[in-house]
Amino acid sequence: MAALRMSSPAFGHDDPLPARFTADGDDVSPPLTWSGVPEGTKELVIICDDPDADEGVFTHWVVYGMAPETAELPEGVPDDAVIDEPVALLQGLNEYGDIGYRGPEPDEDAGPHRLFFRLYALDAELDLSPGATRLELRRATKGHVLESTELVGIV
């Protein structure tokens, strides 16, 4: 089976993140697609964060509870903790204390930042309520990651 891969029709790996996905634009989540989900996957998880933030790793999006058959997320996932359509998923808290995606706030004086969209294929279904934090998700996934991949946008 092919390796787990993630991409976006809106930007390429290590390319600039279009402004509409930032606080300066529409501040909506970008569309993401993936393939090569390994056999035995029980749940898919996405964590989006910026490791270059002044305050350390800054979380922009936490998504979990996705079925292994899921192969994409559309642009503009609503900021609800529980979503049933078009993709069933749960969302957690970002670093702003909000549910759902919140894009970066570009600061030209701070230099470029990397926004990592990481997809994890897990061998277990997580027992997490809606609204989990990145730290809670990381703890729950420990020892359950079958494979992971990432897509990086530059801001």
Average pLDDT score, the chain? 95
Q: Categorize the per-residue pLDDT at 27 as very low, low, confident or very high, splitting at 50, 70 and 90.
A: very high
Predicted pLDDT of residue 53: 86
| Residue 2 in tokens | 């092919």
Check residue 109 and give its pLDDT.
75
Question: Pick from 48, 58, 67, 52: which is nearest to 121 by CA?
Answer: 67
Structure tokens at 141: 């996934």
Per-residue pLDDT, 1: 52
d(CA 134, CA 136): 6
Give the distance between the most distant pair of CA atoms in the chain.
45
Segments making up each domain of the chain, as ranges: 5-154
CATH code 3.40.50.2000 for 5-154: no
The answer on pLDDT for 36 being more than 90 is yes
